[in-house]
Structure 1
Amino acid sequence: MRGETAVAWKPALVIFDCDGVLVDSEPIATRIIAAALTKAGLEMSGEAALHQYLGGKLTRIKIKVEEDLGIELGDGWVEAIYEKQFAAFRAELQPIPGIVDALDALDLAGIQYCVGSNGPLYKMDVSLAVTGLHERLEHRIFSADMVPEPKPAPDLFLHAAANFDVPPGDVAVVEDSPPGVRAGVAAGMRVFGYGKDSGVDRLKEAGAQVTFENMADLPKLLGVGG
Structure 2
Amino acid sequence: MKRTFGLVIFDCDGVLIDSERVSAAVIAESMTELGLPVTPEAAMARFVGVSLRAMRPMIEADLGRPLPPDWNAMLVARIVAAMERHAEPIPGAREILEHFDAVGQPWRIASNSADVEMDAKFGRTGWLDLVAGRTFSAPRLFPEGGRPKPAPDVFLAAARSLPAAPETCLVIEDSVTGIAGAIAAGMTCYGFAPHGNGEPLLAAGAERVISGHHELRDLVALAAAIGAKA
Counterpart of 2:158?
Answer: 160
Instruction: For 1:8 and 1:222, locate their aligned partners in 2 and report how far apart those are by CA, in whole Å.
Output: 5
Residues 37-74 of structure 1: per-residue CA shift (max 9 Å, x gap) = 12223222111111110011112201221133212221
Counterpart of 1:88?
Answer: 82
* Deviant stretches of 4+, over 4 Å: none
Residues 126-147 of structure 1: per-residue CA shift (max 9 Å, x gap) = 1111111121111111111215
Counterpart AA for 1:70? G
1:104 aligned to 2:102?
Answer: no
Structure 2 gap ranges (5+): 223-230
In structure 2, the residue corresponding to 1:166 is in which secondary structure? Answer: coil
> How does the TM-score come out when normalised to structure 2?
0.88
In structure 2, the residue corresponding to 1:44 is in which secondary structure? Answer: coil
Task: Give 1:198 shift.
Answer: 8.5
Does the 8 A contact of 1:176 with 1:197 survive in 2? no
Counterpart of 2:27?
Answer: 33
Instruction: For 2:20 and 2:179, locate their aligned partners in 1 and report how far apart those are by CA, in whole Å.
Output: 16
Instruction: For 2:172 and 2:10, locate their aligned partners in 1 and report how far apart those are by CA, in whole Å.
Output: 5
Counterpart of 1:173?
Answer: 171
Paired residues for 1:129-208 under 5 Å? 129-145=123-139, 146=141, 148-196=146-194, 199-208=197-206
Instruction: For 1:144 and 1:151, locate their aligned partners in 2 and report how far apart those are by CA, in whole Å.
Output: 8
Paired residues for 1:55-94 under 5 Å? 55-94=49-88
Task: Give 1:182 shift.
Answer: 0.7
Instruction: For 1:188 and 1:63, locate their aligned partners in 2 and report how far apart those are by CA, in whole Å.
Output: 28
Residue 197 to residue 37, structure 1, CA distance change in 2 (3 Å): farther
Q: Percent identity?
A: 34
Structure 1 gap ranges (5+): 1-6
Structure 1 vs Structure 2 CA RMSD: 1.8
Does the 8 A contact of 1:51 with 1:198 survive in 2? no
Does the 8 A contact of 1:118 with 1:143 survive in 2? yes
Instruction: For 2:154 and 2:111, locate their aligned partners in 1 and report how far apart those are by CA, in whole Å.
Output: 8
Instruction: For 2:195 and 2:59, locate their aligned partners in 1 and report how far apart those are by CA, in whole Å.
Output: 23
In structure 1, the residue corresponding to 2:44 is in which secondary structure? Answer: helix
Number of residue pairs the alignment of both structures matches: 218
1:54 aligned to 2:52?
Answer: no
Instruction: For 2:43 and 2:9, locate their aligned partners in 1 and report how far apart those are by CA, in whole Å.
Output: 25
User: Which of residues 108, 112, 129 in structure 2 aligns to 1:114?
Assistant: 108
